Structure 1
Amino acid sequence: MDCAEAYVRYMCTWLLDNCYDDLEVMAKNVDEGCIDRLNLVASTPFVRITYTDAIELLRKAVAQGQAFENQVEWGIDLASEHERYLTEVVFQKPVIVYNYPKGIKAFYMRLNDDGKTVAAMDVLVGELIGGSQREERYAILMNGLEEMGLPVEPYEWYLDLRRPGTVKHSGFGLGFERMVLFATGMDNIRDVIPFPRYPGRADL
């Protein structure tokens, strides 16, 4: 989480330092708040809350009259409207949600001691980053495959990496186009991809 936060804040700072003229063009023609948004993210420590606490905040909002299209209950995958509510209304800054229910995450994410959640996190800044600690314990990995009803054979190569044991490790991925979308304020991710593929246009 420290690395992911530092990475996002660095990118925002770099854009402000090196692409300010371009950002002014985007602010004039696309999103007048793009420069302020980058400044906010570059200079503000991210909030960190567990998935369980995030659900509790959303439940309180529903109890107070906030309407969501998607139901709020423990075990759901947070929808974009939930993420926006947390970042834009509750905290008004970037949020990292961690310790998600194991049932909505991949089998290779490390099971926490509670047996219900995994060591996974999402950086809620335009849905930029998702990551997790990987499960290094072979027996628990096998149990995860079984619980999810996944066949073992296609994952033999991955299991081979764990049989002799391994070090604890984790990682995350950042969507480059999502970062460009966040920075520019464009409405559709297709508009920040050089050669986008979409229904009726997959010939490229």
Structure 2
Amino acid sequence: MKGLMLNQIDMMKGRLTLFFVLSCFVTIINLFNDPHLNSGMIIYILPTTVLIESIRQDETSGWVQFLSTTPVSRKAYVQSVYATFLAISLAITIFASIMTLIIHHSALKAFSNGIFGIGFALNMSVILAVIIKKGASDSKGAQIVTILLCVLFILFLTIAPMIFFTTVLKLPDTLAFFYSRVILLLLGIVVAYIGYAIATKSFMNKDL
């Protein structure tokens, strides 16, 4: 697993460095305007963009075909893709949470942003399932459609609970934000698990 993850990171280290720096910059700028990161969701799309390009390179370079001749199982490859994606997302989330704490001096906001980052990343991981299932040739269209669906879906999930908690339950904005992010996280766990199961099953049955 560690070797596969290192291979993923090595293949995309140039783009990964650029996107990570860009994510940090966007996070800092965004936090001065919006302590809840509502307008900064793009920073969690970047890891999927980098990793999807890595999967495309894997398929076009023959790496996946080579993988089928090694003792490494196909399931381990899928696990490495998901683990790498979550590791990158977690690194960005930790940075965003630390910056939230520094800029806004609020541990609850920082913790809420951490939950939001992981929850959003887990929901975005559905893109990985689509790409692994469809293959490199269809990945561009699948990426665009899935990103649009995820953004619309999660925007609804971030706005609707906030309205419910603030207008119906009359909770303060900070608590309403926290509870809505917990819902997002729980849903993300379910979505990621289903997506991982679909990706594993389809990749296990794929002709290489």
Shorter-chain TM-score range:
under 0.3
Structure with higher strand content: 1
Structure with higher helix content: 2
TM-score normalised over the length of structure 2:
0.26
Of structures 1 and 2, the one with the larger relative CO (CA 8 A, separation 6+) is 2
Larger Rg: 1
TM-score normalised over the length of structure 1:
0.26
